[in-house]
A and B are shown apart, each in its own frame.
Chain A
């Protein structure tokens, strides 16, 4: 119960911000918003103890039970890790943003989007229902889009936002297809229920897996979809620290972890995840070295680290294949390392992003060609950078060292396995891992030395650098401290946070055996590998100018970025071309499209389904006055054809409408008659208002004979189709009749007016959506007629 409220809280506050932000001008809006993640963090901390003892918390709210879609929350060890990251890092980032963003920015937008994201992300990791999870998943993409484009006057921001949106939503839709296949196989939307089943032999098993993985890979920036992440760095730095390193990009990893019990143990799952993860790890770290922008460097580093975590989950899935006998428990260690590194990565990458933000804020640039020698001027920032980089490079005494060593051991173990064709190429896995770690070491060194060591170049800077205000330093300092603490007391974390998560990954395994005792000080092959990384790394760093030329092979023209740009450009051209072909701006054409489609679909349906039948014998007798009304309608309709002026045509049209309303009265349908009367009046007014925009009625008569013949044909076909529908409904039996509503209206809906109970209760869903459509149509008319681009607007857009 309270967990669902916890998900709702950020949304509620986000909805309140537009109302209250004007009244708290004297305070930075961030102080107000800060309370949300802090409160949520406090709230979720209380769950650590019960979850560590193996408890899970669920709650269910009926949403659309008729489709089996319910709002089910499920909090177990795995969710708890993410929840604590989202709220914990969220608190620190919000605190940091208070000092990062000045009050001149449109803060109410920023915090509204940030809270929207926070709620959506909590929803992703706490939902048990696949459809609800998907909805929250897409909401994180949308809020990420809004946050990247926060400085939307910049062209690069908008391009980056669009790229992130296109790629992640593409994956999201594929994931939806995968979810639907999964639900089809399992006959359930519940992740827990699906995980308990064996689906390996189903025909859709592999397609569903691949579709879902595409979603996870695009979200977690895996190769070759990683290209959106560096461009997303156009966002304000707090956003990069929060969404694009600590939380949102880990949603894909969460999904892989969550669905491991479903798909784990299959060779495809193992190979796809491990290989893509390792390629991403290598490619990210290799490209990070060439970057000159600090944030771009960190972006590629994030890509690389995400690949590392991903590949570990791939190796860990081997445990589902072998089962939980003592000699095979070793594979679960990879998963343990993945979860451990997930937390560690959030701490050191968060700190590093905040550090770069501070440099950018206080020095005015983040280009390493202009930076240097800042150590003396920014000692605290330097300390943070040092701690973060050491942890990132995997050196003691920081937490990154521990998880990096565990990563090496996982890769060393897997090379000896003899299934899934691993015996032949298994040796490659630890080699790639080691090479990528060398590059990781190099870019970590670059990050620190180019910024803080070397010669200070004041002539290249716009500002006089100085240490950041204390408020800005709090968050990265807390993160740095936690890196140290985790290194010295890793087993506390293992016992309370990691072991419950391991339990939710491997339900049947003996929990005490799959959680290792972490020893910070050890001596083994992994340590030797780390020493090798340092030595080779330092050597390569020294001779970096000599081998830098390698990067010239990978020009922008040969990258996936070029492919993305080209496909976007082609898609735009093509859709432009197609749209221009039929959107002629000519109303006559549009009416033709509408009527031709209508006639083809409806009469096509009647012909193919063979449902048209008409029996004149069951008709009621037609009274004389009914004949007269029908005759008036026919006469008015006929006369419209020969009207010389549009006014005459409009008035004749109203005659038809009012007589129809009268017919409704005769047939005892007062609701319909009322509606028809009012609609007719308002339409007439609308016609009169539009008059001066419509062309002369006589202009139509100048058309060619052939065009007029076609128009006549379409008109007659449309009329015939409508007549056919009218005649067919009498004997139509393909849909359930609604006459039962007559009996149930008072009982079920508590209303005696059947029309209204249908609108407001039985079919209220239709009504609700119609209301929304009506509103959108109104806004459409308003924007089309009122909001024209101002002069010079195009120039503003493209700064």
Chain B
């Protein structure tokens, strides 16, 4: 998957940060407005896929030295792990809590344990999508 396209690479450099920012925004916005773990994860994954499209695999791997299979595994662990935590507080499986805390700069901010669960979802999505695309495209 080696594409030597100057325009694509230049555009990618600019666009990639917009997409990444959008992904992170969507992830955190999910609780109250459109977004969430799944979409956030997908957008992040598409950003990484775009990087792979514009550059070759080795270059991207230098910048993002992650094993995406492990990223996916951590995601699954996080999702199932946070689901299990509630048992230890004698609440049913998958119970989530949410609260509001006054922070100095941000004002009234909502904190919710579901964010961790969503992080698990997002990581799994990123890890799986990139793993699939990489393993198919890399094959000799």
Query: Which residues of A pack against B, CB within 8 Å?
Result: 60-66, 71, 670-671, 674-675, 678-679, 681-682, 685-686, 689-690, 693, 749-753, 755-757, 759-761, 764-765, 767-768, 771-772, 774-775, 777-779, 781-782, 785-786
Contact = CB atoms under 8 A, between A and B. Distances in A.
Contact of A62 (B1, B30, B91): B91
A768 to B, nearest CB: 5
Given A671-B34, A768-B83, A749 B98 contact: yes
Nearest to B110: A750
Given A63-B93, A753-B31, A774-B125, A764 B117 contact: yes
Secondary structure type dominating chain B contacts:
helix
Interface string B77-113: 0011001000110111110111100000000001010
A749 B87 contact: no
A63 B38 CA distance: 26
A678 B42 contact: yes
B87 A71 contact: yes
Interface of B: 1, 26, 30-39, 42-43, 45-46, 49, 53, 69, 72-73, 75-76, 79-80, 83, 87-88, 90-94, 96-99, 110, 112, 114, 117-118, 120-121, 124-125, 127-129, 131-133, 135-139
B133 A689 contact: yes
25 contacts: A62-B92, A63-B87, A63-B93, A64-B92, A64-B93, A681-B46, A686-B136, A689-B136, A689-B137, A749-B98, A751-B98, A751-B114, A757-B31, A760-B37, A760-B114, A761-B114, A765-B94, A768-B117, A771-B75, A771-B76, A775-B76, A778-B69, A778-B129, A782-B131, A782-B132
A777 B132 CA distance: 9
Contacts of B128: 774-775, 777-778
Contacts of A675: 38-39, 42
A757 B114 CA distance: 9
Nearest to A679: B42
B6 to A, nearest CB: 20
Contacts of A62: 87, 90-93
A682 B133 CA distance: 9
Given A749-B98, A753-B33, A767 B121 contact: yes
A764 B87 contact: no
A760 B82 CA distance: 11
Contacts of B35: 671, 674, 753, 756
B22 to A, nearest CB: 10
B33 A752 contact: yes
Contacts of A63: 87, 92-93
Contacts of A756: 30-31, 35-37, 118
A749 B46 contact: no
Contacts of B26: 674
Contacts of B131: 778-779, 781-782
Contacts of A777: 128, 132
A760 B122 CA distance: 12
Given A675-B42, A753-B34, A755-B36, A781 B114 contact: no
A6 to B, nearest CB: 14
Contact of A760 (B33, B118, B139): B118
A670 B137 contact: no
Contacts of B39: 671, 674-675, 678
B125 A689 contact: no
Contacts of B76: 771-772, 775
B139 to A, nearest CB: 5
Contacts of A61: 87-88, 90
Given A749-B98, A750-B31, A760-B96, 16 more contacts: A61-B88, A63-B93, A682-B49, A686-B136, A689-B133, A689-B136, A750-B98, A752-B31, A764-B114, A771-B76, A775-B75, A775-B76, A778-B128, A781-B131, A785-B136, A786-B138
A175 to B, nearest CB: 24
Nearest to A750: B98
Contact of A682 (B32, B34, B118, B129): B129
Contacts of A781: 131-132, 135-136
Given A678-B46, A756-B31, A760-B117, A768 B80 contact: yes
Given A753-B31, A756-B30, A685 B36 contact: no
Contacts of B1: 689
Contacts of B133: 682, 685-686, 689
A782 B69 CA distance: 9
Q: Which of A62, A671, A689 has the most CB of B within 10 A?
A: A689
A693 B137 CA distance: 10
Nearest to B69: A782
- Which one of A690, A755, A782 has the highest number of Cβ atoms from chain B below 10 Å of its Cβ? A782
Given A750-B112, A751-B31, A764 B94 contact: yes
Contact of A775 (B72, B90, B97): B72
A66 B92 contact: yes
A759 B91 CA distance: 19
Contact of B32 (A71, A753, A774): A753
The 3 closest A-B pairs by CB, nearest first: A750-B98, A778-B128, A752-B32
B74 to A, nearest CB: 10
A767 B79 CA distance: 9
Contacts of B120: 771
Nearest to A64: B93
Between A682, A749, A778, the greatest number of chain B beta carbons within 10 A of the residue's beta carbon is seen for A778
A678 B43 contact: yes
Contacts of A765: 93-94
Given A678-B46, A749-B114, A760 B73 contact: no
